[in-house]
């Protein structure tokens, strides 16, 4: 569709007059790159084909071949709400005060800065958001936070005033989906949720299927030709439950999938995870249920869970492919930055049949990050970047590409610059006590309290620790923290962690800009 510059000018001025946009000229907006943000929930760093030959994700693999794969990236908290808030504001969970899924979310009037979609809307972008954000629950109103078009799969992941929900538009289909997962447990992460099945529910009645169809329809009918596009597509899976359409299950042969390696001990040793189990009856009971069920299985039966998890990843990858085709036909990939990531990983039966996240080990904290599209310099396409990247880096990377800036002194770095940090930072608070991670490509340090934060305020009991040689002990089974041989390395990592926290937290807050 060809529209004259005169008409484009009228559209932009009309939007400005209506209070939808600050005035930005057509010439400015049409030179800005389209920003395509693709996201999944609980997808491991190694659950894409370029990192794991056992999994089929051809569309994400193509993005990697045409862009940059950040092989050492981590999240900022191994659970949904703090990770996603951190990513969308460019701040660490403790800077926001949102440290766990149970944290009270920020009402719109208390936001420290513009969330990413609002920042881009103010920069002249058409903003369209499809799928999960998971800001959290609050008695204060939460709007769409900059998304002009907003569709969400189900209200249980948080209500946004002004969003359109599957609950309202497709209640019969959503009821069919909920009936299929009714015995999957809290968050669909119980034993049945991880056992999974070949789904008998129509794709469009799955929450992700409904969201994907709304996104595809928008790309056919809703793109504003006068503005660059910020498209956000965020799925709820491969997070359990693992009920997957048949055609994606059939992509895999169970005999090709390896069994999950297990540690040489039966009970979690002296670690932050042991402490977490001791202080969270819910987490401990759930692990006991998983462990009891999986110990009774044969290796072949256990592989079925991994197969369904991989099939889930392939299903979402197929939707990403369909979206990219639509964008290509619309001419929106000629000048574009494409981002793909996940909010955190998935243990998938490791450490004696433990599932979900809620710990600081590799499978939980590492995430895939891909930057692709025409905005990537040709010399960098198809490369792997081994810098210690973080999800908090995505905000500054995106706003810089969009020709705007951040409002706050953020801990994040522009991933398209040459800047780098010594390691990556992650925090975990779900046990009631603080735990911090500092990770380099070779070493991981974990410091954790064995007391709740309130008790620790007046206590002289020191933090405990874990130290792992990631090159020689990738499973993190051998804790070197108390070994005299590694004392110098331990203290160096502690110093780097302290310096990083001091630099990052001192720069905040500085108020709204």
Residue with tokens 């079925």: 304
Peptide bond into 241 cis (omega under 30): yes
Which of 91-105, 154-168, 253-267 has the highest average model confidence (pLDDT)? Answer: 253-267
Half-sphere exposure of 140 (CA within 13 A, CB side): 10
Q: Could you tell me where the beta strands, DSSP code E, fall in 352-396?
A: 369-372, 383-385
Residue 9, pLDDT > 60, answer no
The predicted pLDDT at position 200 comes to 98
Answer yes or no: are the C-beta atoms of 41 and 315 closer than 8 Å.
Answer: no
Per the rule left: phi > 0, alpha: psi between -120 and 50, beta: everything else, 138 is beta
Q: CA 133 to CA 147: how far, in whole Å?
A: 11
The predicted pLDDT at position 508 comes to 66
Q: What phi, psi does 485 have (nearest 5°)?
A: -60, -30
The predicted pLDDT at position 29 comes to 59
Residues contacting 228, CB < 8 A, separation 6+: 29, 30, 32, 33, 34, 35, 124, 125, 126, 402
Q: Is 251 exposed, middle or buried (0-12, 13-18, 19+ CB in 10 A)?
A: middle
The predicted pLDDT at position 102 comes to 75
Helices (H), 186-334: 191-195, 207-221, 246-249, 272-279, 281-295, 299-329
What's the mean pLDDT in 401-416? 91
The predicted pLDDT at position 123 comes to 97
Could you give the domains of the chain? 31-421 (3.40.720.10)
- Give 25-93 as a 3 state SS string: CHHHHHHCCEEEEEEEECCCCCCCCCCCCCCCCHHHHHHHHCCEEECCCECCCCCHHHHHHHHHHCCCH
- Give 329-356 as a 3 state SS string: HCCCCCCEEEEEEECCCCCCCHHHHECC
Least reliable range by pLDDT among 132-146, 256-270, 309-323: 132-146
Answer yes or no: are the C-beta atoms of 465 and 481 closer than 8 Å.
Answer: yes
Banded model confidence at residue 509, pLDDT cuts 50, 70, 90? low
Residue 8, pLDDT > 80, answer no
CA dist list (Å): 42 to 84, 156, 323, 354: 12, 17, 21, 14
Residue 116, pLDDT > 50, answer yes
Which tokens belong to 407?
């409002």
For 34-57, write each residue's pLDDT tens digit.
999 999 999 999 999 999 999 999
What's the mean pLDDT in 262-268? 94
As a whole number of Å, the end-to-end CA separation of the chain is 38
**Chain mean pLDDT for the chain:** 91
What's the mean pLDDT in 260-264? 96
Residue 18, pLDDT > 70, answer no
Sheet arrangement for strand 149-152 = 164-165, 149-152, 126-131, 229-238, 34-41, 336-342, 369-372, 68-70, 383-385
For 175-184, write each residue's pLDDT tens digit.
999 999 999 9
128 closest CA partner among 115, 145, 147, 143: 147
Banded model confidence at residue 11, pLDDT cuts 50, 70, 90? very low
For 280-293, write each residue's pLDDT tens digit.
888 899 999 999 99
State percent of the chain over pLDDT 70: 93
For 87-97, write each residue's pLDDT tens digit.
999 999 999 98
């Amino acid at each position: 569709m060809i529209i004259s510059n005169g008409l484009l000018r009228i559209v932009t001025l009309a939007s400005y007059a209506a209070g939808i946009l600050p005035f930005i000229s057509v010439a400015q907006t049409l030179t800005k790159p389209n920003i395509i943000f693709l996201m999944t929930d609980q997808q491991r760093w190694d659950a894409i084909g370029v990192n794991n030959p056992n999994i089929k994700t051809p569309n994400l693999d193509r993005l990697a071949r045409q862009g940059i794969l950040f092989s050492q990236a981590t999240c900022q908290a191994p659970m949904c709400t703090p990770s996603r808030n951190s990513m969308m504001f460019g701040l660490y969970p403790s800077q926001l005060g949102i440290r766990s899924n149970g944290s009270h979310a920020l009402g719109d009037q208390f936001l420290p800065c513009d969330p990413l979609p609002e920042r881009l809307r103010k920069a002249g972008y058409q903003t369209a958001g499809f799928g999960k954000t998971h800001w959290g629950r609050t008695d204060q109103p939460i709007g769409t936070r900059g998304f002009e078009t907003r569709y969400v799969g189900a209200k249980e992941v948080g209500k946004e005033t002004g969003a359109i929900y599957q609950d309202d538009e497709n209640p019969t289909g959503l009821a069919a989906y909920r009936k299929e997962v009714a015995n999957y447990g809290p968050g669909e992460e119980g034993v049945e949720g991880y056992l999974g099945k070949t789904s008998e529910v129509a794709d469009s009645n799955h929450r992700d299927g409904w969201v994907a169809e709304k996104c595809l329809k928008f790309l056919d009918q809703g793109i504003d030709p006068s503005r660059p596009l910020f498209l956000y597509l965020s799925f709820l899976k491969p997070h359990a439950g693992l009920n997957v359409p048949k055609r994606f299950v059939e992509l895999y042969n169970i005999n090709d999938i390896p069994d999950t390696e297990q540690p040489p001990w039966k009970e979690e040793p002296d670690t932050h995870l042991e402490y977490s189990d001791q202080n969270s009856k819910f987490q401990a009971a759930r692990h006991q249920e998983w462990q009891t069920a999986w110990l009774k299985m044969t290796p072949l039966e256990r592989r079925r869970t991994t197969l369904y998890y991989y099939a889930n990843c392939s299903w979402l990858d197929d939707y990403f492919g369909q979206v990219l085709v639509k964008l290509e036909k619309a001419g929106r990939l000629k000048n574009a930055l494409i981002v793909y990531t996940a909010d955190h990983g998935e243990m998938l039966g490791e450490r004696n049949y433990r599932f979900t996240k809620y710990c600081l080990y590799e499978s939980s904290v590492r995430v895939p990050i891909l930057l692709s599209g025409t905005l990537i310099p040709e010399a960098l396409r198809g490369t792997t970047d081994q810098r210690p990247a973080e999800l908090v880096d995505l905000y500054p990377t995106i706003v810089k590409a969009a020709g705007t800036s951040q409002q706050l002194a953020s801990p994040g770095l522009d991933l398209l610059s040459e800047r780098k940090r010594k390691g990556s930072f992650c925090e975990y608070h779900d046990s009631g006590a603080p735990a911090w991670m500092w990770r380099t490509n070779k070493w991981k340090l974990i410091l954790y309290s064995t007391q709740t934060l309130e008790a620790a305020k007046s206590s002289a009991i020191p933090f405990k620790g874990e130290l792992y040689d990631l090159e020689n002990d990738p499973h993190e089974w051998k804790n070197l923290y108390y070994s005299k041989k590694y004392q110098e390395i331990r203290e160096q990592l502690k110093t780097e962690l302290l310096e990083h926290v001091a630099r990052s937290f001192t720069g905040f807050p500085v108020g709204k800009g």
